[in-house]
Amino acid sequence: MPRLLCLFLLAAAALGGDRAYDFREKTLPNGLRVLTLEDFSAPTIAVQLWYHVGSKDERPDRQGFAHMFEHMMFRGTERVGPKEFDVLTTRAGGSNNAFTSFDNTTYVNELPANQLDLILWLEVERMLFLQVDAMGFHTERQVVEEERRESNLNPPYGTVPEQVLERVFTKHPYRWMPIGRIPHLRAATLEELESFWSTFYVPNNAVLVVAGAVKHEQAQKAAERWFGWVPKCPEPPRVTEREPELLYRTLEDGLVTAMVSDGQGGVVVGLSPHVPSGQIAVHDSALGLCPKKAALAAHGIEPTHPGLLAGRSLVQLDGAEHKTHRQVLRERLSPVSV
């Protein structure tokens, strides 16, 4: 239920007007939007971090970068080990996951309500100091490649969706799938990956959603405590390509054909052209200091910043496991005779 509330919350915030849920929104000085919703029906919280970056923000010859970071973001930081993100959330009685779409990459967490500080610390850790190294890239690229084979390349008709997109969209980067392409990922360099992460994984390109058994004021103060000291970074580039005006569309021999304006008063009829060689947005490889690193360095922020050091005190070191939210709910329910 908290996860569904998060989705309704984002939809309501986007649409505006009358809303079914009494959510609140606050924007921190660094540009991070914070959406909160109270729901005390269960002693749990759902915490999601939505980054405004998806497959549409990739270069045509580097398809799959957004999806790669859905996996890479679990590889740890200087303070959190490669698998420790999962270990810490599970040991606290929670769970986590992530998904990538055309417009966003989202990290979802569900935990007991008293673990809000823990998950916010973990999220700010990987937002600022993710380890982008060769070992992590190689490991997660193999996972993504296998996912690509299993989902699209091996099943019958598995590539139909991407073939449809190539014909529906002629210029906009919606013309490729978020899952990525194996040759593009194998050709990528660590510098290109770090540049992508540094450009888009910044507070002013994210929305933090907290829904569940926590007061609005408490959630907002926690967000300010863990994210408020992070400096605002350069605004990420936005896609400016627009599809030609569609005048007519029909089906011919099972393929999508279209009649579109050519921008000069004429009309072009036929199948979608091949992907143009030009880039949709400029995401050059990091030749010097990445934008995010430059912003952090300008404010004297390093992995040893006091705003992050406090996070370690939240970790249970005795090895004891917390109850999961399902166990809590199960204990609260009365036995029912059938």
Q: Which residue has the higher pLDDT, 322 or 310?
A: 310
Q: Is the dihedral of CA 299, 304, 306, 311 positive or negative?
A: positive
Strands of 30-77 (E only): list them: 33-38, 44-51
Q: Which among 9, 7, 39 has a CA at the least distance from the CA of 23?
A: 9
| Residue 175 in this model has a pLDDT that exceeds 70 | yes
Least confident of 21-35, 166-180, 222-236, 322-336: 322-336
Most confident of 74-78, 271-275, 302-306, 308-312: 74-78
| Residue 69 in this model has a pLDDT that exceeds 90 | yes
Q: Which among 103, 126, 245 has a CA at the least distance from the CA of 178?
A: 103
> How many Cβ atoms sit within 10 Å of the Cβ of residue 80?
24
Strands of the chain (E only): list them: 24-27, 33-38, 44-51, 95-100, 105-112, 206-212, 246-252, 255-261, 267-270
| Residue 145 in this model has a pLDDT that exceeds 90 | yes
* DSSP category for residue 241: -
* DSSP category for residue 315: S
Which two tokens mark 208? Answer: 């933090």
Q: Is the dihedral of CA 49, 110, 38, 125 positive or negative?
A: negative
**pLDDT tens track for 207-264:** 999 999 999 999 999 999 999 999 999 999 999 998 876 544 444 444 444 444 444 4
Q: Is the dihedral of CA 220, 224, 225, 227 positive or negative?
A: positive
Q: Is the dihedral of CA 13, 17, 21, 27 positive or negative?
A: positive
Contact 188, 57 (CB under 8 A): no
Q: Which residue has the higher pLDDT, 71 or 167?
A: 71
| Residue 300 in this model has a pLDDT that exceeds 90 | no
In the predicted model, what is the mean pLDDT of the chain?
A: 81
The 246-252 sheet, strands edge to edge: 246-252, 255-261, 267-270
Given this model, what pLDDT does residue 107 score?
Answer: 98
% of the chain residues with pLDDT over 90: 61
Cα distance between residue 243 and residue 167, in whole Å: 12
User: With respect to CATH, is domain 2-332 assigned 3.30.830.10?
Assistant: yes
Q: At what angle do helices 190-200 and 291-298 cross, to 10 degrees?
A: 60
Given this model, what pLDDT does residue 320 score?
Answer: 47
How many Å separate Cα 122 from the centre of its chain? 15
Given this model, what pLDDT does residue 168 score?
Answer: 85
Q: Which residue has the higher pLDDT, 338 or 31?
A: 31
- The domain segmentation of the chain, as residue ranges, is 2-332
Sequence-ordered list of residues with C-beta below 8 angstroms from that of 250, at least 6 positions apart, any chain: 257
pLDDT band at 319 (very low <50, low <70, confident <90, very high): very low
Say which residue the tokens 């139909």 belong to. 160
Cα distance between residue 77 and residue 203, in whole Å: 17
